[in-house]
Amino acid sequence: MGDNLQLNSEGKLKHFLTIEGLDKNLLTEILDTAESFAGMSEQQVKKVPLLRGKTIVNLFFENSTRTRTTFELAATRLSADVLSMNIATSATSKGESLLDTIRNLESMFVDMFVVRHNISGAAHFIAQHTAPHISVINAGDGQHAHPTQAMLDMFTIRQIKQDFSNLRVAIIGDILHSRVARSQILALNTLGAAEVRVIAPKTLLPAHVETLGVTVSHNLKEGLKDIDVIIMLRLQKERMTSALLPSESEYFKCFGLTEDKLKIARPDAIVMHPGPINRGVEIDSKVADGPQSVILKQVSNGIAVRMAVMSMAMQRQGALS
């Protein structure tokens, strides 16, 4: 996004739509801010008054449990008023256009939209057309971007590995349809990871995937060599019906992460997954629940990272003293 719709004239975060166009300093600022919120969850009082009096609307045009819940918790802990709407079952099924939905909500004096939509570019479109005082946070748009997920993954990696510059990261599975992978690749490259490797059959890789700044492998056993961070992606059932893969079992045989295969990676490698996981399809239960797995840590970090992004996006409005 060369135009940098996301930043205000002072270079501060206004919307958070994609990792593209954000520099290392800004990503690090997000991680540092998240750090300051991370300890809060264990305290007796889990709230700060940063967004008191602000109204945040979660607009979910596509179903989600984890992402919506962590956004709700994050907003609540910042003392904002939160309204969650499942539009998938509401206005648009009555034929209302995306823009009309937004205009209606705008007139209810909201301060921020958190948007999830099944079409690539939807959050960008809303940010372009919404009133100037409203911030838009992309909670996943089509196959394009899921920047808060990527940042919580970066947060988790930094917590454990400290520094990105020596890290070799493998992202395994359905890269083609994954907004998570696209955002992770951008974030890892911006933060200076030594290598980002994608491992998948050709049917699950987009054309010219190497132009995203990755190396490519079609073989899990070869691809896992020297890897410090393993990110597994969820495999959707519909990939079988659209002839991208023959079967779950054959996929698991080739690309499923088992204890044996995990041994090929570096001994201190961590295993990540944006969830929800398909046990026995992309990952074996022993690995998902094993000592190298940080999957649940990712979920708890999601709250801190989303608090960070929300407070930063509101900060530029002078809302916070």
Partner 1 sequence: MSRIQISQGRIIDPANKIDHVGSVYIADGKIVSVLSEPDGFRPDRTIDASDRIICPGFIDLSTRLREPGQSRKATFASETRAAASAGITAMCLQPDTVPVIDTPAVAELVKDIAEKAGYAQIYPIAALSQKLEGTELSNMLSLMQAGCIAVGNANQPVRNLLILRRAMEYAASHDLLLMFRPNDYWLGNNGCAHEGVFATRYGLPSIPEAAETIAVAQCLELAELTGCRVHFGQLSGKRSVIRIHQAKKYGLDVSADVAMHQLHLTENDIAPFDSAYHVLPPLRTEEDKEYLRQGLAGGTINSICSDHQPHDIDAKLGAFPETEPGMSTLETLLPLMLSLVAQRAITLTQGIAALTEKPAQILRLRSGALTPGFSADVCVFDPELTWQVNQDNWQSQGVNTPFWGQTLKGRVTHTLQGGRIIHELEQGAGHVPGHGLRA
Task: Using CB under 8 A, list all residues that contact partner 1.
Answer: 1-3, 20, 97-99, 117, 119-122, 124-125, 129, 141-145, 179, 182, 206-209, 211-212
In the complex, the smallest distance separating the C-beta of residue 100 from partner 1, rounded to whole angstroms, is 10
Q: Counting Cβ atoms within 10 Å, is residue 84 exposed (0-12), middle (13-18) or buried (19+)?
A: middle
As given in the structure block, the two tokens for residue 9 are: 């004239």
75/115 with CB nearer partner 1: 115
In the complex, the smallest distance separating the C-beta of residue 214 from partner 1, rounded to whole angstroms, is 11
In the complex, the smallest distance separating the C-beta of residue 92 from partner 1, rounded to whole angstroms, is 11
d(CA 80, CA 180): 27
In the complex, the smallest distance separating the C-beta of residue 207 from partner 1, rounded to whole angstroms, is 5
Q: Are 268 and 226 in contact (CB under 8 A)?
A: no
38/102 with CB nearer partner 1: 102
Q: Is 198 helix (H, G, I), strand (E, B) or coil?
A: strand
Q: Are 25 and 152 in contact (CB under 8 A)?
A: no
117/239 with CB nearer partner 1: 117
198/262 with CB nearer partner 1: 198
Q: Are 177 and 240 in contact (CB under 8 A)?
A: no
The amino acid at residue 10 is E
In the complex, the smallest distance separating the C-beta of residue 128 from partner 1, rounded to whole angstroms, is 8
125/164 with CB nearer partner 1: 125
Q: Are 113 and 136 in contact (CB under 8 A)?
A: yes
